[in-house]
């Protein structure tokens, strides 16, 4: 997504908040910048919605880009943390069964370690 937004020169929408042009005294330049930011924000929302599942599309269709990104990070950062915790727990609690091959045990431990590395 960042590649597309960089190519379209709209990455600034994710990095900067919308300029405030709500006052009547705001200069025309500020109002134009505000409108351009709002338009690019809407286009970014469409790009993001097109790249996610239907379930997420329904949930996020009425959000701005900042809120959407923040919520997605919350969901997936937590999920990845839980997955790392469960994998670590399996690795630390994994014991070799008496009479089993050492090779099998080591391969399983390597699998857990590789999952943690990714």
pLDDT tens digit string along 83-114? 888 999 999 999 988 998 999 999 999 999 99
Q: How far apart are CA 15 and CA 30, in angstroms?
A: 18
Query: Given 62, 79, 107, which residue is the final one in a domain?
Result: 62
Residues 68 and 55 in one domain: no
Residues 36 and 91 in one domain: no
Region 15-32: mean pLDDT is 68
Residues 71 and 58 in one domain: no
Residues 74 and 46 in one domain: no
Residues 52 and 1 in one domain: yes
Region 10-35: mean pLDDT is 68
Instruction: Specify the pTM.
Output: 0.44
Condensed to tens digits (0 to 9), the pLDDT of residues 42-72 reads 777 777 778 778 888 888 777 777 777 778 7
């Amino acid at each position: 997504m960042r590649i597309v937004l960089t190519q379209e020169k709209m990455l600034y929408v994710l990095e900067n908040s919308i300029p405030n042009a709500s006052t009547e005294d705001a200069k025309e330049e500020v109002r134009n910048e505000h409108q351009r930011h709002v338009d690019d924000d809407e286009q970014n929302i469409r790009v993001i919605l097109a790249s996610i599942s239907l379930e997420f599309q329904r949930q996020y269709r009425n959000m701005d880009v900042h809120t959407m990104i923040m919520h997605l990070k919350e969901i997936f950062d937590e999920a990845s943390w839980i997955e790392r915790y469960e994998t670590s727990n399996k690795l630390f609690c994994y014991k070799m069964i008496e009479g089993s091959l050492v090779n099998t045990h080591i391969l399983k431990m390597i699998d857990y370690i590789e999952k943690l590395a990714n």
